[in-house]
Amino acid sequence: MYSSHPESHKIHRSGRLRAAVLGANDGIVSTASLIVGVAASGAGKESIILAGTAGLVAGAMSMAAGEYVSVKSQEDTERADLEMERQALEDNPEEEEMELAAIYRKRGLDLELALEVARQLMKHNALEAHARDEIGITDELSAHPIQAAFWSALAFSIGAVIPVLSAVVAPCSALLWLVPALAIIMLGTLGSLAAYAGGASPVRGALRVCFWGVLAMALTAVAGLIFGFSG
């Protein structure tokens, strides 16, 4: 019997969720750590704000460039594979149909049904069927470099702007505790929401990102103290 209440799976969110969490997490951790390190060195407020702002802009552009190059490479590979498959379908359609049927046989269909499914799908859209079932390319998961670059830069900027604003409004004497405190709260919230959206434990998600954030800020603060003292 057909169910009117299909399950709401979470795996379709994983790619977008991962990119958003990674970008925001990097923005929080790297910018807060930079501000804490410069503040620990004894630098003035202007230098701290300059360092935080530069970190925000450079980090956002780095995220955008890295994501664009990575996803563009994926897009180039996908296009090459699709062109190869298109040529194979033109040259050897019967062989490609058998190849598709063999894939369905491995998934549990008997020979007759596998051949019929392959035949029907090839009639509908042969390239789409082979892209999806042979190569693993779908419209939902295909590469979009510009979109990926934009959202990565935006996520980083959203994460980085709070530490920078806190450095602007807070006195220097409070930065070494205020910025880490705000960063830990943001990281915990982000980790909890991401874990909840993905169906995992919010507590574990929060602890995971907070641990690495605290470690990064602590090590950067130590570096700032050492080099500030040496200077």
Residue 66, pLDDT > 70, answer yes
* DSSP 8-state symbol, 12: G
Closest-CA residue to 62 (of 143, 153, 146): 153
pLDDT in tens, 85-115: 788 887 887 888 888 888 888 888 878 888 8
Q: How many Cβ atoms are within 10 Å of 229's Cβ, its own excluded?
A: 10
Predicted pLDDT at 16: 58
Instruction: Provide the number of structural domains found in the chain.
Output: 1
pLDDT band at 2 (very low <50, low <70, confident <90, very high): very low
The predicted model scores a pTM of: 0.73
Which residue is it, tokens 């979470």? 10
Q: What are 190's two structure tokens?
A: 């982000």
Give the contacts of 77 (CB within 8 A, at least 6 positions apart).
none
Query: Quick check: is 2 in a domain?
Result: no
pLDDT in tens, 131-166: 787 777 666 556 678 888 888 899 999 999 999 999
Predicted pLDDT at 115: 81
Least confident of 22-31, 111-120, 175-184, 202-211: 111-120
Predicted pLDDT at 48: 93
* DSSP 8-state symbol, 2: -
Do 222 and 38 meet the contact criterion of CB atoms below 8 Å apart? no
Query: Quick check: is 34 in a domain?
Result: yes
Predicted pLDDT at 5: 47
Q: How many Cβ atoms are within 10 Å of 20's Cβ, its own excluded?
A: 21
The residue with greater pLDDT, 21 or 224, is: 224
At CA 196, angle to CA 195 and CA 199, rounded to 5? 85
Do 119 and 104 meet the contact criterion of CB atoms below 8 Å apart? no
Query: Quick check: is 182 in a domain?
Result: yes
Residue 181, pLDDT > 70, answer yes
> What is the rounded CA–CA span in Å between residue 21 and residue 42?
32
Identify the domain containing residue 154 by its residue range: 14-230
Q: Compute the average pLDDT of residues 63-71.
A: 89
Predicted pLDDT at 159: 92
Query: Quick check: is 6 in a domain?
Result: no
What does the mean pLDDT of the chain come to?
82
Q: Compute the average pLDDT of residues 37-52.
A: 91
φ, ψ of residue 134 in degrees (nearest 5) = -100, -45
> What is the rounded CA–CA span in Å between residue 67 and residue 152?
7
Do 188 and 206 meet the contact criterion of CB atoms below 8 Å apart? yes
Do 153 and 63 meet the contact criterion of CB atoms below 8 Å apart? yes
Give the contacts of 231 (CB within 8 A, at least 6 positions apart).
41
Query: Quick check: is 142 in a domain?
Result: yes
The residue with greater pLDDT, 122 or 4, is: 122
Highest-confidence segment of 62-76, 97-111, 127-141, 174-188: 174-188
Give the contacts of 225 (CB within 8 A, at least 6 positions apart).
40, 41
pLDDT band at 220 (very low <50, low <70, confident <90, very high): very high
